[in-house]
Chain A
Amino acid sequence: MARFKHNARRNKKWGSAKPPVLKKQPPSVDHVTGSKIPKSFVFARGKLPGPLKQLELDLRKMMLPYTALKLKEKKRNTLKDFLNVAGPMGVTHFLILSNPKSVPHLRVARTPQGPTLTFEIHEYALAADIARSQSRPRCPQDLFKNSPLIVLSGFGAGGQHLKHLELMTIMFQNIFPTIDINTVKLASCQRIVLLNYNSEEKLIDFRHYSVRLQPVGVSRRIRKLVQNHQVPDLRNLQDVSDFVTKAGYGSESEPDEEAATVSLASDLDRVNRASTKSAVRLQEIGPRMSLRLVKIEEGLCSGGVIFTEFG
Chain B
Amino acid sequence: MQADPNPMKRKRKPIKSKNPKKKKTTTKPSGAMAAVAEAKRRKPSKRMLKLFKKRAQNYHSDSDDDDEEEVVEEGRRGEATPSDGNDEDGSADSERGGGSEGDDEGDGEGGHRGGITRFDEGCRAFRVAFSKIMKRKLPNDALGPMLSAHKKLVVEKLVEEEAEHKAKGEAKKEKILALEKGHVKLANFLDAKEKSLIKIATKGVVRLFNEVSKAQISQRGLNPSRTKVAKELAKQRKRTFSPELKKSSTQGHGDHLPFNSSKLSNSVEKENDDELGWAPLRDSYMLTSSKLKDWDKMPDPAASVGQDVFPMESSSSDEE
Residues of A in contact with B (beta carbons under 8 Å apart): 33-35, 49-51, 102-104, 110, 114-115, 121-126, 129-130, 132-134, 149-159, 161, 166, 169-170, 173-174, 176, 178-182, 184, 186, 189, 192, 194, 196, 205, 207, 209, 211, 256, 259-266, 275, 280-282, 284
Contact = CB atoms under 8 A, between A and B. Distances in A.
20 contacts: A50-B179, A115-B319, A125-B183, A151-B200, A153-B200, A153-B254, A154-B254, A156-B249, A170-B319, A179-B260, A181-B208, A181-B264, A181-B265, A182-B268, A184-B261, A196-B197, A264-B213, A265-B212, A280-B202, A282-B202
Interface string B185-225: 11001000010011111111110111111011101000000
Contacts of B316: 170, 174
B263 interface: yes
Contacts of A161: 308
B257 A280 contact: no
A279 to B, nearest CB: 9
Contacts of B265: 180-181
B183 A51 contact: yes
Contacts, number: 175
A179 B264 contact: yes
Contacts of A33: 264, 267-268
Contacts of B226: none
Contacts of B257: 152-153, 155-156, 169
B312 interface: yes
B216 A176 contact: no
B256 interface: yes
Contact of A149 (B178, B182, B205, B256): B205
Contact of A194 (B201, B209, B213, B308): B201
A181 B215 contact: yes
B213 A263 contact: yes
Contacts of A169: 257, 312
Nearest to B189: A133
B144 to A, nearest CB: 41
Contacts of A256: 199
B13 interface: no
B274 to A, nearest CB: 11
Given A156-B255, A157-B253, A266-B216, A280 B205 contact: yes
Contacts of A179: 260-261, 264
B256 A151 contact: yes
Interface residues of B, number: 53
Contacts of B178: 102
Contacts of A104: 181-182
B206 A262 contact: yes
A98 B268 CA distance: 38
Contact of A152 (B203, B217, B256, B264): B256
Contacts of B263: 173, 178
Given A125-B186, A130-B189, A153 B255 contact: yes
B254 A186 contact: no
Given A154-B253, A170-B315, A282-B205, A194 B197 contact: yes
B212 A176 contact: no
A209 B264 contact: no
A265 B213 contact: yes
A182 B229 CA distance: 12
B180 interface: yes
Contacts of B184: 123-125
A82 B141 CA distance: 54
Given A125-B185, A205-B197, 7 more contacts: A121-B182, A166-B312, A174-B316, A182-B219, A194-B204, A260-B206, A282-B201
B253 A122 contact: no
B271 interface: yes
Contacts of B208: 149, 181, 189
Contacts of B254: 153-154, 157
Nearest to B220: A265
Nearest to A192: B201
B278 interface: no
Contact of B212 (A186, A194, A275, A282): A186
